[in-house]
Amino acid sequence: MMRFLLILAVLYLIACVLGWLVKLWVTRKLHRLFQTPASRDTPQAAASTMVQCATCGTYVSKDRASTKGGAYYCCPEHRDASE
């Protein structure tokens, strides 16, 4: 009787692991299916160019940086202090 319960427990664990793997596979397939074509083709498209602040050396994205005279600054305070 004990041997039967042990075999049953092992089969149950194997079934649980297989079920988890199937769920993982289906989830990934569905995720890929519903992605937009742009995000599938260029996953790095959202990344922005980073520039260095001329005052403190901190890197900020180019679209958030302040500029003055061709130099980039991390904040308006550093831009104004460069005079």
The answer, as to whether pTM is greater than 0.85, is no
Query: Mean pLDDT of successive 10-residue segments in the chain (83 residues)?
Result: 94 97 94 73 64 92 89 90 76
Strands 71-73 and 66-68: antiparallel
User: What is the per-residue pLDDT for 48?
Assistant: 77
User: What is the per-residue pLDDT for 33?
Assistant: 83
CA distances from 62 to 15, 34, 53, 74 (A): 52, 31, 10, 9
User: What is the per-residue pLDDT for 32?
Assistant: 85
b or e along 3-25 (b: 16 or more beta carbons within 10 Å of the residue's beta carbon)? eeeeeeeeeeeeeeeeeeeeeee
